[in-house]
């Protein structure tokens, strides 16, 4: 399962998620989506910490964030 | 292999998704417009306070005129500027309802100024979410009462002239003198930190109504990248550098207080 799931055809390519990602692991794709924009995508899942700041700034509500379940003892 | 895959899937948990109070319909707003962010924040609040069954939202006229398509709760469309009057009627008819209005600056600060001021003066138990982007977005970028001095709009092509059209109206400053207002705050929507502040303000503005204290209003300093003729990120920087000097963020009235822990 992806950490950052962008609903490709909801994204309007405004770039706010790219700007506010503290680890710079988002970018706008070169190809177009069904509504004619360059959608955002996570190009570096290794660096991503699932902080959800990209989803917080997304005006379309197009981003869903998953992260590894944290163990209660830790 | 397959068992391991399932184990990995089970370890993931969802930490952020679209709020339940929003429908699946895609927003019609321009790329980078902060209306989408505020819609999501309002929906998050409805989910958080578990108000879905008793919420009535009142839509404005402006870009967000179609917002009833995006919310699962009951919505009413008011005539231009009259959302606080409609909300007052709903709240007085059925006080158990949670009633909010969602208005832009052309709607709330221009044609609806009388309704806004009088709803605040009466202290009606409604919550107003006020989107201030300093311009009429939907109708083509005309000057609004909140347009900054020197800002270009289609009706002020060489920049707003204070001598001719006056200075921008600060709604929070204006309403802070009225006794009926229980919570009044202004917040820019320019970073995740500010969104966190916005959620704090919205919680208190909602509690002002639910705890029967008075009217709650949160003003969001928003962007209009298309009519400002800026990129979405440049528009956010413009708010941080210029707009906050004219409209300083902060809490103007707080009669709600913090929750006891």
Residue B92 above 90 pLDDT?
yes
The pLDDT assigned to A73 comes to 57
- Residue B109 CB: number of other CB atoms within 10 A? 24
- Residue B243 CB: number of other CB atoms within 10 A? 25
The reply to whether B6 touches chain A by the CB within 8 Å rule is no
Over the Cα atoms of chain A, what is R_g?
A: 13
- Which residues on A lie below 8 Å from B67 (Cβ)? none
Of A1, A61, A64, the CB nearest to B40: A61
Q: Which domain CATH number covers B214? A: 3.40.50.970
In a domain, A21, yes or no: yes
The string of pLDDT tens digits covering residues B43-66 is 999 999 999 999 999 999 999 999
Summarize the confidence of residues B174-195 as an average pLDDT: 96
The percentage of residues in chain B with a pLDDT greater than 90, rounded to a whole number, is 93
> What distances in angstroms separate CA B66 from CA B17, B116, B167, one per listed residue?
22, 21, 31
Instruction: Tell me the shortest Cα–Cα distance from B216 to chain A, in angstroms.
Output: 24
Mutate to test the interface with A, among B4, B6, B8, B18 (most CBs of A within 10 A): B18
Residue B9 above 50 pLDDT?
no
In a domain, A71, yes or no: no
Instruction: Tell me the shortest Cα–Cα distance from B180 to chain A, in angstroms.
Output: 33
Number of domains in chain B: 1
In a domain, B20, yes or no: no
- Residue B155 CB: number of other CB atoms within 10 A? 14
Residue A26 above 50 pLDDT?
yes
On whether the CB atoms of residues B231 and B225 are closer than 8 A, the answer is yes
Can you tell me the distance from the alpha carbon of B148 to that of B129, in angstroms, rounded to the nearest whole number? 21
Residue B16 above 80 pLDDT?
yes
Q: Which domain CATH number covers A40? A: 3.30.70.20
In a domain, B132, yes or no: yes
Please give the span between the terminal C-alpha atoms of chain A, in angstroms, as a whole number: 23
The pLDDT assigned to A45 comes to 87
In the A/B pair of chains, how many CB contacts fall below 8 A? Answer: 81
Q: Which domain holds residue B102?
A: 30-254
In a domain, B15, yes or no: no
Number of domains in chain A: 1
Q: Which domain holds residue A23?
A: 4-65
The string of pLDDT tens digits covering residues B93-110 is 999 999 999 999 999 999
Reading the block at residue B103, the tokens are: 């208005």
> What distances in angstroms separate CA A65 from CA A42, B14, B98, one per listed residue?
11, 6, 30
CB atoms B31 and A12 under 8 Å: yes
Complex ipTM value: 0.93
Of B31, B192, B232, the CB nearest to A37: B31
The string of pLDDT tens digits covering residues B120-178 is 999 999 999 999 999 999 999 999 999 999 999 999 999 999 999 999 999 999 999 99
């Amino acid at each position: 399962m992806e950490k950052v799931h962008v609903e490709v055809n909801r994204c309007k390519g405004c770039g706010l998620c790219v700007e506010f990602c503290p680890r710079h692991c988002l970018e706008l794709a070169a190809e177009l989506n069904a509504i004619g924009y360059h959608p955002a995508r996570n190009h570096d899942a290794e660096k991503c910490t699932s902080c959800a700041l990209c989803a917080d700034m997304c005006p379309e509500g197009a981003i869903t964030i998953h992260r590894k379940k944290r163990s209660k003892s830790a | 292999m397959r068992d391991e895959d399932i184990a990995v899937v089970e370890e993931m948990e969802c930490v952020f998704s679209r709020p339940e109070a929003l429908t699946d319909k895609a927003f019609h707003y321009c790329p980078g417009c902060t209306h989408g962010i505020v819609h999501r924040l309002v929906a998050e609040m409805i989910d958080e306070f578990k108000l879905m069954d008793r919420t009535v939202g009142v839509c404005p006229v402006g870009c967000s005129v179609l917002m009833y398509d995006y919310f699962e709760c009951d919505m009413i469309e008011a005539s231009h500027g009259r959302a606080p009057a409609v909300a007052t009627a709903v709240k007085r008819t059925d006080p158990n309802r949670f009633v909010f209005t969602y208005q832009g600056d052309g709607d709330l600060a221009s044609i609806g100024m009388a309704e806004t001021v009088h709803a605040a003066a009466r202290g009606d138990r409604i919550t107003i979410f006020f989107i201030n982007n300093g311009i009429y977005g939907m109708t083509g970028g005309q000057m609004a009462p909140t347009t900054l001095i020197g800002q270009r709009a289609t009706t002020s092509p060489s920049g707003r002239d204070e001598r001719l059209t006056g200075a921008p109206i600060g709604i929070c400053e204006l309403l802070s003198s009225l006794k009926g207002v229980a919570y009044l705050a202004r917040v820019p929507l320019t970073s995740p930190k500010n969104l966190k502040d916005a959620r704090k303000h919205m919680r208190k503005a909602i509690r002002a109504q639910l705890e029967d204290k008075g009217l709650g209003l949160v003003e969001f300093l928003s962007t209009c990248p298309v009519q400002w003729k800026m990129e979405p990120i440049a528009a956010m920087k413009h708010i941080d550098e210029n707009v906050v000097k004219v409209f300083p963020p902060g809490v103007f009235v707080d009669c709600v207080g913090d929750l006891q822990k």
